[in-house]
Structure 1
């Protein structure tokens, strides 16, 4: 019997478990370990609460989790409860699917001021992640600046802009809905170092800004290249730029402007004990397509700054790490004999949820090549013995189903669930 441990229960973890089942059939046992008592990673805590259709992929992961060959072991922290070395001694293969939950820093003066937060923290706050439940950002009457030109920046801007009624039917947590519903930002600025042709935003995600109740996008037509230049773009990118052009041509009359500022690079944040303004440098496109500073700067008001410029995988003691790329050092997912990584932990924070599926299948094939026959490791029974010896209070997938039922039962009218935002509450529901 082959024994595999996967660290992380997000999309990368479950797609890899699925791939291992197909690769090895009945001759494999997979344990999926996670420090949280609840599975599904960014599906639960990263996907925007108003994108319920995307969250439905968790039903696929549930089908994997309920097979006899796969087990979820929640509330087990790598490094504190068990080490990588111990798992390598117990399992034939250990796969790190820990994602990239840490924010990339802006690296500018003033980013430590109160009111400056990363997207992992802000998104985690409105999605009910226990690590960020106490964030309580100031939103009432402030000018919000969202740094970044990807879909995460769009999610953040859209959630900031929505009215309470527009948040009905979502699983935004109560503390965020109450704060965002009773307060209203004065304006939202989306800042990008390059131009419309270099955005990482999708057309579908952009189109959602057109129908907001109290907010509307505003774009300067001078930021665009001539329309005929769009023909050089890939089809999906061309559609996204077309959405931006439509925004620029419209004349919306709504109370909250969502201003797209292109060719703008943040260089400093300032304020008296709290963020109040951001200094921005005008940029140009360099010959290699990167942003080149012009030396010309200007200030914009900013009572809240949310950085959406990317993520990093936290290092793990004893695991080779690529500090420049912010992920584990690996060659096609192989870190060292018996140790692998998948998803963002392997390639950095790129790609969509679905990108993790072929990634997981490649690793399963690689494992089969590296080790055609499994060793004689203890696997699951060995981990159970260690858990008992250390008196660890783990959470199983059946326990998670109790948590989920409790969240559904406590949902407000029209909402799919009301998430628990504290680990203690989750565990209590699991035991209840």
Structure 2
């Protein structure tokens, strides 16, 4: 019986390198690796050796005989991928370290999220390379801690890999340090052979429609940060007194938001959701979440695994009007001919299955509306509704155009989930059109396209706000490899100041750096509180309290 990759797949491809028959695709060498929703195991090639099961950091791979009923559709989803993808044998090599010249090397990484930690993972394999990782928050792990939904505990399992990186003797955390305030970019450049920025995309994109900033209208960035206990959003409140919420967008974050709003509080109480959010959700009156998508089901941005998982939420119906499942002419022709990409075909099939399900009176529900464009948020003093225009496919079969049909949905809560954007970083060039730092394979370039020696980027600030944990691994490895190649090529400037004064420099400017031991104290406190409550952890959300807890006790 074959092994099967299920919903928690993180796409970091650690399973690929241990497969003796190379039956897991796409690999980092395949052109569709960076756009794949998940990795997939070919059931006809898998020899059921279990190597990938043991290697998977998020426990997403299961033997077929161990599948629960809710996971059984993944056997077909895995097989469907190979309907239009061939498999060739042979192992895929992991990135290899080049032979470095003599001498110690020091690297600063700004940002302690997955992209930065994956870059560090490759660098600290060489004992002569020391990595100092800075982050403005008192805690590491970036969006794994503050972005992954609390009911997706398995996905957070990649933290085990990050902990192994942090335990290396040539790695040091400098958390609770804001680069640009406690230490400047030019001071890092003077002290390190390379500076890698992995600062992500913390800001949301806007709709640019009337009354977007009315109370009751917020971004998914704010809402996700609120329920995940991000210190920047811990003090927020959201009005959950109405019976309907509207989520604008159709990516995985939109589905996360919708799912959290309708999941029973007693289920959320077993997760690491922030206590303040859980308390408000316990008194929520929301029974319906409407998810608006500008285009049709074939172009939905959510992954099939997240879409499928909605059907397993206890006490919740997924509602799709069959008339909403309009396809563009190109997709319809490919589907009829059997040439449609298997991932898109699966998405359409799942939507059709949802649309055919009976609805149970009195249950909470997630309602999908496709080809629906928000045009105005309405309300006096706060949100009371949203006006939505119906779209249609134009004569060319692919372009979406507006119709004259506008309806109004009554709601007291509108959450936009239409993507993230990066903002300029002090000391670095910035491309406002692409919302990234211009670069070549991670090497930062100036306005003329020339590489700036010793300066690198990775993650969303490098490539834009696309891709999840798996893509960040490949992205971080590419940037780390660029640094190593530049060392071998003698292309890096030699630091002219010592990094030994970093902590005192930060302290002189009012900073309180938190090292690995300090983070361990925060982590242990959260886990102990979680154990007492039957939860993975109870998150601390106040930065000052975490700073005090992380500080070593002195006589």
TM-score by length of 2: 0.74
Aligned 8 A contact 1:325 1:348 in 2? yes
Match of 1:268 in 2: 376
Residue 413 of structure 2 corresponds to residue 309 of structure 1: no
The residue that corresponds to 2:462 in the other structure is 346
1:17–1:30 CA contact under 8 A, matched in 2: yes
Deviations, residues 233-258 of structure 1 (Å, cap 9, x unaligned): 43333323322111101112143221
Matched, 1:160 2:261: yes
Question: Shift of residue 117 of structure 1?
Answer: 0.9
After TM superposition, list the pairs within 5 Å mapping 1:163-182 onto structure 2.
163-182=264-283
Residue number in structure 2 paired with 1:98: 199
| Cα distance in 2 between the residues matched to 1:384 and 1:369 | 29
Pair 379,361 (structure 1): closer, same or farther in 2 beyond 3 Å = farther
CA distance in 2, matches of 1:333, 1:270: 44
Q: Which moved more, 1:228-237 or 1:95-104?
A: 228-237
Alpha-carbon shift at residue 332 of structure 1 (Å) = 2.7
Which structure is richer in relative contact order (CA contacts within 8 A, separation 6 or more)?
Answer: 1
Q: Cα offset for 1:416?
A: 0.7
**Quick one: distance in 1 between partners of 2:376 and 2:212?**
8
* Number of positions where the alignment pairs a residue of Structure 1 with one of Structure 2: 430
Deviation, structure 1 residue 214? 3.0
Q: 1:401 aligns with which of 520, 528, 543?
A: 520
Please report how far the alpha carbon of residue 388 of structure 1 lies from its aligned counterpart in structure 2 after TM superposition.
Answer: 4.6
SS in 1 for 2:124: helix
CA spacing shift, 1:81–1:388, aligned 2, 3 Å: closer
Match of 2:358 in 1: 251
Per the TM alignment, residue 106 of structure 1 is displaced from its structure 2 partner at its CA by 1.1
Deviates more, 1:322-331 or 1:242-251: 322-331
Q: Is residue 269–residue 278 contact of structure 1 (8 Å, CA) maintained in 2?
A: yes
- Counterpart of 2:134 in structure 1 is 33
1:390 to 498, 506, 509: 509
Residue 72 of structure 1, aligned match among 164, 168, 173: 173
Q: 1:84 to 1:21 in 2, by over 3 A?
A: same
Once residues 517 and 541 of structure 2 are traced to their aligned partners in structure 1, the CA distance between those partners, rounded to angstroms, is 19
**What is aligned with 1:420?**
540
Counterpart-to-counterpart distance in 1, 2:165 and 2:225: 25
1:11-410 residue pairs with structure 2 within 5 A? 11-22=114-125, 25-224=126-325, 225=327, 229=335, 231-253=338-360, 254-286=362-394, 287=396, 289-335=398-444, 336-372=452-488, 373=490, 375-377=493-495, 378=497, 380-390=499-509, 392-410=511-529
Q: Would you say the 8 A contact 1:202–1:237 is kept in 2?
A: no
Q: Please identify the structure whose Cα radius of gyration is greater.
A: 2
TM-score by length of 1: 0.95
The aligned counterpart of 2:91 is none
Match of 1:3, SS state, is: strand
* Secondary structure of the structure 1 residue equivalent to 2:115: helix
Unaligned runs of 5+ in 2: 1-103, 445-451
8 A Cα contact 2:304 2:343, kept in partner: yes
Any stretches of 5+ residues in structure 1 without a counterpart? none
- Contact 2:453 2:493 (8 Å CA) reproduced: no
Matched position secondary structure for 1:52: coil
d(CA) in 2 for partners of 1:93, 1:116: 42
1:141–1:184: 8 Å Cα contact kept in structure 2? yes
CA distance in 1 between counterparts of 2:381 and 2:508 reads 49
1:78 Cα deviation (Å)? 1.5
Closer/same/farther in 2, CA of residues 382 and 232 from structure 1, 3 Å limit? farther
Q: Secondary structure at the match of 1:132?
A: coil
- Whether contact under 8 Å (2:375, 2:388) holds in the other structure is yes
Whole-angstrom CA distance in 2 between matches of 1:311 and 1:324: 14
Contact 1:47 1:55 in 2 (8 A): yes
Q: Give deviations 1:295-341, integer Å, cap 9, x for gaps.
A: 43221112101111100112123321121222222233222322111
Worse overlay, 80-89 or 48-57: 80-89
Aligned-residue CA RMSD (Å): 1.9
